[in-house]
Structure 1
Amino acid sequence: MWVSLALTAVAVTFYVTEWVSLELTSLGTLALLLVVFTVFPAIGPDGARVLTPQDLLSGFSNPALLTVMALLVVGEGLIRTGALDSVAHWAFSYKLSAATSLILMLVIVLGLSAFLNNTPVVVIFIPILQAMANRLKVNPSRVMMPLSYVAILGGMTTLIGSSTNLLVASTLMDMGQPGLGFFEITGLGLVLAAVGFGYVALVMPRLLPERAGMASQMTRHGKQFISQIVVPSDSHLVGQKAVAGAFKSLPNVTVRVIQRGEHAELPPFDDYAIRPGDTLVIAATRDALTELAARHPGLLHPPRRPGEEDRTRDRLRDGGEEETDTIRRDGGGSNGNGVEKDRPEQTEQVMVEAMITPSSRLIGPNLQQLAFRQRYRCLVIGIQRRARMIRTSMTQIRLEAGDTLLIMGRQADIEALSRERDLVVLSGTTGTLPRRHHAGLAAGIFAAAVGLAAVGLVPIVVAAIVAATLMIAIQAVNLRQATRALDRKILMVVVAALALGQALEATGAATFVATSVVGVFADLGPAAILSMFFLIVAGFTNVLTNNATAVLFTPVGIGLATQLGVDPHIFAITTLLASNCSFASPVGYQTNLLIMGPGHYTFSDYTRAGLPLLLLLWVTYSLVAPWYFGL
């Protein structure tokens, strides 16, 4: 028992301080537990081991962990197809401020979590809030933790709001007590949820760090690229007129000039209708160009004149056999009419930024003269030049040293491009285009999985694994992307936490601590004992899982109620509400683990932002519960 307590204290210390990585701390904790309980086995009253290596390693097959891993793959599929972007667009279509939009979304999450499992609710809103944060210029680290905590608060308000609530009610009936009513916890739950929501919405964002992922830091999404659109005859742009200088079908895009034949029209473009064949010179961020390329494939492709492909082949053939082989490996590249056989729906399109080096052979000519597309089998869709206002067609800009090109192509071609000496592919700028043609199917798979799990037709773990498999099957994500979506940090932290929880429970350490601490306050009366009991359970739920804490402490609470001569339901409800206070660590509740990656959080972030919330709810409960229960 003492060894288990000591290992728990050491593990929590290393988790909070992060002297070593979370993965190494988790692996070391698991290894020490295996050694201790194998070399010095704990024997129960029946002569059998109370904890075997199989028990300690069972966390790898834990349904909650498998659910989290599968839902990470499902979420990756939704993000890569852009399936939920329209929901995010609706959320801020009312021109609300960033703070108001966020509070609106959190209120919706709070309401849904009262009647639905918290995990699918959080999974639904992670990509929505990611898109909202991007459009509202808010760091995702400021919104992901509030999302998880609001879902937990909503789960406190009804009996079906959380699996923890149902476990407490089930344990209560197993011990011969009447079960909890559907709304028996609603009164106190709403009080705690209201106080907690105020803290999460108004205070917590100020405590969370401005932390972006490495890719976001490196890609510098705010800088402007010059690009161009040659309007085809069947384009949705034909006939559109500018409103206040902007075109409705080109959101977040600035049109700098419209070239029509020999005439160049400069802004503002009042009552100037777009015609087929117009060339629009535009300026936009990488995000805006990515969205445009994903929603309208081919719109950013430069036009090709008949016979240009053959002339390019002749020029490259004269330049060397190696370049001729490059085109041959591309499969011909043309159907004979000067139109390349690009099929972006059949292969993943990757976008990357590359800078022209000072000694590059690309300096001087423009993209058409270089035959860049034929030479590298990649398409330049934007050029960025510092401190220069450019109104020239992108394909006519003569390249200079230091220019940054926004390039789109297949993964293999981008990798080949990175080996060129004339260009330096900027590390961390690689990204893929959303597969919009899979968005509807991906959303349908996700909706079916969540719906079946929410109404209880299938377990959430079954729905999640099947949904993840279908996401891979329809190519919303490929196997490589699905594997990368599985966060090893989450995997190891959960497995180690479950093993620690089993050790504490099997050796009686958890019960010993609870009864010892409560016993100190035995002479202070039921109200003080109830307050301390809440704090102890809330503390343990951040080390164990919420479900394990609920099952472990419900019998302890009922025993205390019997000793004090009060209604056992009072301590059962206290156990239920305190077990849901999984705010001070990522290991207490699986939604905390889900948002760890998208929010780029460390273990200490949960403690810094969540511990004040836990203490606030403890103080609130200590003041309200004695009056509510008449103690």
Structure 2
Amino acid sequence: MSIEQGIVFAVLGITLAMFVWNRLRFDVVAMLALLAVAITGLVPTEELFAGFGHPAVITVAAVLVISQGLVNGGVVDNIARLLGKIGHRPTLQVLTLTSVVALCSGFINNVGALALLMPVAIWMSREAGRSPSLLLMPLAFGSLLGGTMTLIGTPPNIIIASYRESGNFGLFDFAPVGVAITLAGIAFITLIGWRFTPRREDNSAGSKLFSVGEYVTELRIPEDSPHAGGTLHSLITSAGDEPDLVVLALIRGEQRHAVPSTYKIMREGDVLLVEADTESLQTFLDKTGLKLAHQDMDSKEADGDSEGSSPEAATESAEPESKDDEKTASVRMEKGELHLVEAVIAPESSLVGQTANRLKLRERNQLNVVAVARLGYRLKRRIGDIRFNAGDILLVQGFEDSLAGTLAELGCLPLAERGLRLGSPRKTAMASGIFFASIVAIVAGLLSAPVALVAGAVAMVLVKLISAAEAYKSIDWSVIVLLAAMIPVGQAMETTGGAGLIAAQMLALGENLSVVSVLVMILVGTTLLSNVVNNAAAAIVVAPIALSLANELQIPSDAVLMAVAVGASCAFMTPIGHQSNALVMEPGGYEFGDYWRLGLPLTAIVTVVAVPVIMLVWT
């Protein structure tokens, strides 16, 4: 082994270890790896940042923009709207959801397709009186399977196409293998696999996750209150250590001030609509001297000092008087164009690792975090001090006309409360037309995939399906940086002979292996790696090794590349292998060890189906 090979192996080994360690963002780790090969001279300076202009990177960015354009046009939502008509049978729900998400994932970003259908799956689960855990894991796995069907379905396919020696793969060259494993995977999940998902029973099944009506209370600023003339902030701090209480609105006569600023000046007779549990509410009443608004003001002196109101009285005031608690609470929340929405924190959200107090969401975004749930259960800690995790479900309050945009900016995805964004027929037709025009141009050989897709993305901006600012926001720049940084690192392994050295060692260990055995080894090895590191990184690392092995064994290079593509995209056994898996973890109430129960047999089925098809088509 040469010194250069030793260096590149060390860089790759440390990089993979840091990916698994998961303490640094994967794009930061990739940039550190790029700097390492630059400082050690393994990659010439003039080629160091060539990855940012690589066709695979450009293609991924264009696909993400087009995906957002299709969403804005209402194309996918029109499909999702039909899912509410399929009934409550679990087998039919699983079949329909996984089939639709797989079809969508073949042509738009698979995480985007999953995000669009998650609210539908959760709504269907609750309507049927079941936990969302039954549908969310099959939905996530369906999005991964569907991405294998086309060149643009998932970043690993785009990367693998760039390694082909005789020109890039076409748009549907992945279809024979991708369609075969998708059909087999959906059949398995529908008939048997969904029974392997955990039966997490919680109080959200058949109802909203958060029973807001049980926590909403109206408090009045009494006459001669020392807090009249003061700010809302001074009122809250006077209770000491910021009580676990959220002010949803301030009512003054006929006016309702939604999400009031903490610097709002209060007056005698003002009514605060607050969210708090019984214990926190009683403590707040005791320390501030506010009154429960339902109390008879004329008889307050006869009743005694209401500062000593019992927790039971507070609880009664918090419960809507109507028989339909949920409906009454909803009416109270929606006055003044105020809206409550459940949303899940996406893995790349700016909220991850932060707290509501630190981010000042009320002042900066006019957004109240009313409640937080994790693993299907409402957290009973002080909301302002909860450090958010990816996948946490938030009950948030904001203005209806800006709430969707605020959530998108923060990296949160609305769940069951989300209304489908049905675009106008004209926008839907334009979005579909531009997308299909790009596809036709690629299939007909008129334009290369990067050029056709970039043209489609620009066209969507020109016809105002998506603004230029929104186009930039729709691009997952962490994935772009990862690809751009890791491509030169992967090439360094090839140019130094490191890939050939690994291939020679593999050949020595299995020199009598058949072609089928080699393909199984490559596919399974890539799958295992993609379950612990980003799938795009797995494809970049394994592809040069697979090509060197194919060259040594005289196996068609296309066959081994297809095996790498399938393995990189089928990370079913852990929640960290793909963003889709991570996205459903908290809403589904899954634990780390839940994934392999369905993921392991599904991986076996994918391997058993994929290898014969690869042999038939590519050898």
Classify the TM-score, shorter chain. 0.5 to 0.7
Distance 1:86 1:558 in 2: 43
Distance 2:501 2:423 in 1: 49
2:518 paired residue number: 529
Q: Give the CA deviation at 1:615.
A: 4.0
1:431 paired residue number: 396
What SS class does the counterpart of residue 512 from structure 2 fall into? Answer: helix
1:503 paired residue number: 489
Alignment-mate amino acid for residue 432 of structure 1: Q
Alignment-mate amino acid for residue 128 of structure 1: V
Compared with structure 1, are the counterparts of its residues 4 and 501 closer, same or farther at alpha carbon in structure 2 (3 Å cutoff)? Answer: farther
Distance 1:587 1:497 in 2: 18
1:294 paired residue number: none
What SS class does the counterpart of residue 142 from structure 2 fall into? Answer: helix
1:357 correspondence with 2:346:
no
Match of 2:180 among 184, 191, 206: 191
Q: How does 1:225-240 map to 2 (within 5 A)?
A: none
What SS class does the counterpart of residue 505 from structure 2 fall into? Answer: helix
2:140 paired residue number: 148
Distance 2:75 2:226 in 1: 45
Compared with structure 1, are the counterparts of its residues 455 and 520 closer, same or farther at alpha carbon in structure 2 (3 Å cutoff)? Answer: farther
TM-score (norm 2): 0.54
What SS class does the counterpart of residue 570 from structure 2 fall into? Answer: coil
Match of 2:569 among 541, 561, 580: 580
Match of 2:255 among 332, 341, 356: 341
Compared with structure 1, are the counterparts of its residues 106 and 194 closer, same or farther at alpha carbon in structure 2 (3 Å cutoff)? Answer: same
Q: Give the CA deviation at 1:506.
A: 1.8
Compared with structure 1, are the counterparts of its residues 156 and 601 closer, same or farther at alpha carbon in structure 2 (3 Å cutoff)? Answer: same
Residue pair 1:64, 1:461 contacting (<8 A) in 2 also? no
Compared with structure 1, are the counterparts of its residues 392 and 324 closer, same or farther at alpha carbon in structure 2 (3 Å cutoff)? Answer: farther
What SS class does the counterpart of residue 366 from structure 1 fall into? Answer: coil
Residue pair 1:50, 1:506 contacting (<8 A) in 2 also? no
Indicate the larger mover: 143-152 or 202-211.
202-211
Distance 2:524 2:250 in 1: 71
Q: Give the CA deviation at 1:149.
A: 2.3
Distance 2:123 2:525 in 1: 38
Q: How does 1:490-569 map to 2 (within 5 A)?
A: 499=485, 502-508=488-494, 509-510=498-499, 512-539=501-528, 541=530, 546=535, 569=558
Q: Give the CA deviation at 1:471.
A: 9.8
Q: Give the CA deviation at 1:286.
A: 5.2
Q: How does 1:484-495 map to 2 (within 5 A)?
A: none
Residue by residue, what CA displacement relative to the aligned partner does 1:218-277 show, whole Å, maximum 9, x if unpaired?
Answer: xx768xxxxxxxxxxxxxxxxxxxxxxxxxxxx98xxxxxxxxxxxxxxxxxxxxxxxxx
Residue pair 1:497, 1:544 contacting (<8 A) in 2 also? no
- Residue identity (%): 19
Q: Give 5+ residue unaligned stretches, structure 2.
A: 235-248, 262-271, 301-312, 326-331, 339-361, 372-380, 387-393, 405-417, 439-451
Q: Give 5+ residue unaligned stretches, structure 1.
A: 223-250, 253-283, 291-299, 303-311, 373-381, 395-404, 419-423, 474-481
Q: Give the CA deviation at 1:108.
A: 1.8
Alignment-mate amino acid for residue 323 of structure 1: A
Residue by residue, what CA displacement relative to the aligned partner does 1:502-560 show, whole Å, maximum 9, x if unpaired?
Answer: 53442334554345324533323333233323334444555676556667766766676
Q: Give the CA deviation at 1:131.
A: 3.5
Q: How does 1:412-427 map to 2 (within 5 A)?
A: none
Alignment-mate amino acid for residue 113 of structure 1: S
Compared with structure 1, are the counterparts of its residues 151 and 551 closer, same or farther at alpha carbon in structure 2 (3 Å cutoff)? Answer: same
1:42 correspondence with 2:41:
yes
Distance 1:532 1:121 in 2: 31
Alignment-mate amino acid for residue 104 of structure 2: L
Residue pair 1:158, 1:185 contacting (<8 A) in 2 also? yes
Alignment-mate amino acid for residue 528 of structure 1: S
Q: Give the CA deviation at 1:435.
A: 2.1
Residue pair 1:352, 1:425 contacting (<8 A) in 2 also? no
Distance 2:537 2:323 in 1: 65
Indicate the larger mover: 451-460 or 143-152.
451-460
TM-score (norm 1): 0.53
What SS class does the counterpart of residue 323 from structure 1 fall into? Answer: coil
Distance 1:458 1:345 in 2: 42
1:227 paired residue number: none
Q: How does 1:89-488 map to 2 (within 5 A)?
A: 91-114=83-106, 116=108, 118-136=110-128, 138-140=130-132, 143-158=135-150, 161-162=153-154, 164-165=156-157, 168=160, 171-172=163-164, 174-175=165-166, 182=172, 186-201=175-190, 318-320=223-225, 322-323=227-228, 340-342=254-256, 352-355=275-278, 356-357=281-282, 360=286, 361=289, 366-367=294-295, 369=297, 384-385=315-316, 411=362, 431-432=396-397, 435=400, 443-444=422-423, 451=432, 452=434, 456=438, 459=454
Q: Give the CA deviation at 1:621.
A: 3.5
Residue pair 2:66, 2:435 contacting (<8 A) in 1 also? no
Q: Give the CA deviation at 1:152.
A: 2.7
Compared with structure 1, are the counterparts of its residues 576 and 471 closer, same or farther at alpha carbon in structure 2 (3 Å cutoff)? Answer: closer
2:407 paired residue number: none
Residue pair 2:573, 2:600 contacting (<8 A) in 1 also? yes
Tell which structure's C-alpha radius of gyration is larger: 1
Distance 1:597 1:63 in 2: 32
What SS class does the counterpart of residue 42 from structure 2 fall into? Answer: coil
Residue pair 1:109, 1:151 contacting (<8 A) in 2 also? yes
Alignment-mate amino acid for residue 532 of structure 1: M
Distance 1:73 1:502 in 2: 29
What SS class does the counterpart of residue 275 from structure 2 fall into? Answer: strand
Residue pair 1:5, 1:504 contacting (<8 A) in 2 also? no
Distance 1:430 1:196 in 2: 34
Residue pair 1:51, 1:506 contacting (<8 A) in 2 also? no
Q: Give the CA deviation at 1:181.
A: 8.6
Q: Give the CA deviation at 1:591.
A: 4.6
Q: How does 1:14-93 map to 2 (within 5 A)?
A: 22-24=22-24, 29=29, 33=33, 36-37=36-37, 41-43=40-42, 48=44, 91-93=83-85
Distance 1:604 1:567 in 2: 37
Number of equivalences = 484
Residue by residue, what CA displacement relative to the aligned partner does 1:290-314 show, whole Å, maximum 9, x if unpaired?
Answer: 9xxxxxxxxx999xxxxxxxxx9xx
The root-mean-square deviation of aligned C-alpha atoms, in Å, is 6.6
Q: Give the CA deviation at 1:42.
A: 3.1
Compared with structure 1, are the counterparts of its residues 556 and 611 closer, same or farther at alpha carbon in structure 2 (3 Å cutoff)? Answer: same
Distance 1:168 1:525 in 2: 23
Distance 1:90 1:190 in 2: 23
Q: Give the CA deviation at 1:107.
A: 1.7
